[in-house]
Amino acid sequence: MNPATLGLLYWRALILVENNELDISNIIIISAFGMFVLESLKVVQLLAQRMGASLTAAHAFFDLFDRIPTIDNGSNKGQELTNFSGETEFNQVKFIYPSRPAVLVLNKLQLSIKSGQRIALVGASGCGKSIIVQLLERFCHFTQGQLILDGVDIRQLNIQWLRSRLGVVSQVPVLFDLTIAQNISYGLENITMDEIVLAATKANIHEFIQQLPLGYETKVGVKGSFLSGGEKQRIAIARVLIRQPKILLLDEATSAMDPYNEQIVQATLEQAQTEDRS
């Protein structure tokens, strides 16, 4: 109720009191009741707005849970190849972001990679280099074409088996709030300390770890917040080396390293390939 209306009501009430047509106590009761009703209506209006926003959010939330993903990460179906060599072929692959259907990222990509072969993808930012890595990891799915590994369509392979054969180091590696040793051996069982140290040595991070008060038992913090970018990348590379993957994917994996460490890590990766040509 605006002040003008309220003032008019009080003025009229005073006239009625002067003419003995209305008792002052009744005015106080009516005024208090009116103010209580108005404040209650304001609260109801505020709650209604918040309830509406909550219902909208809940609807979106349950829609997300009910959505059936194109790629089932928990699936146990699919082939598991016995003698997997890592031969890869992109056959006329097209990729379009679902949120940006007008932008064609990959247009009939034709690429063959033999076992033991090293290739580098060079291009401007946004041209699809990281998308190629994600397609191999099956984090997203191509729009058209075929992606073939050892003669088998990647969609026919068991997704968990496939990812266990890949080693990935990204520009921003993912580290967990665990010790350095646990991060290097993450996801593996029956890994000895000697194997962890060997992988760290190959990644040129062993000497740095030894200088820490707790050594390999040092916690790295959430997302490796206690380490520099180069240190996180070298730990991530050690984690990959200990797995000896059939396909090694490096997405600007040495971007945060100084030239000296980058040269050593590159030589280590070349040596790892020489030791296992597959």
pTM, full prediction: 0.67
78-164 shares its CATH topology with 166-278: yes
CATH architecture of 78-164: 3-Layer(aba) Sandwich (3.40)
Residue 181 has pLDDT above 90, yes or no: yes
Summarize the confidence of residues 23-46 as an average pLDDT. 75
Please tell me which residue, 276 or 166, carries the higher pLDDT value: 166
- Beta strand pairing call for 152-153 and 166-169: unpaired
Residue 210: predicted pLDDT: 92
Which sequence spans correspond to the domains of the chain? 3-66, 78-164, 166-278
Residue 270: predicted pLDDT: 72
Fold of 166-278: Rossmann fold (3.40.50)
pLDDT tens, residue by residue, 55-81: 888 888 888 888 887 888 878 888 888
Q: How confident is the model at residue 211 (pLDDT cuts 50, 70, 90)?
A: very high
